[in-house]
Amino acid sequence: MTLIDRYIDCWNQTDPEARAKAVADLWTEDATYTDPLADVTGHAGIAAVIEAAQGMFPGLVFSAGEVYDAHHHIARFTWHLGPEGGEPVAIGFDVAELTEDGRIRKVLGFLDKVPS
């Protein structure tokens, strides 16, 4: 499973315990997540942002976008949020800083398309 697959899986995980485990497996304990709507640190903060996004968009799912590129300890990728197999209502672009073991230390997120 690739980094983007694991990342998208975290964002789609609706069971709180499974989500907490997915976040803990993928992110460092002191990881940060920053986008226009959130600025959090740590597993609990990241899981809370994911839960809040799911609450704002019930029934929608995240999927990988068209862009994925990585070098050294940095990855960038796009993602979509929408009905499964349907047109996305939101599109974002994230940049992740990774540790030597491939876990996420920091994500800087940008929203390219948001619902009105």
Q: What is the pLDDT along the chain (116 residues), one digit of tens a residue?
A: 789 999 999 999 999 999 999 999 999 999 999 999 999 999 999 999 999 999 999 999 999 999 999 999 999 999 999 999 999 999 999 999 999 999 999 999 999 999 87
H or E stretch at 23 = helix 16-26
Note the pLDDT of residue 115: 84
pTM equals 0.94
H or E stretch at 3 = helix 3-12
CB under 8 Å to 55, separation ≥6 — which residues? none
Note the pLDDT of residue 1: 77
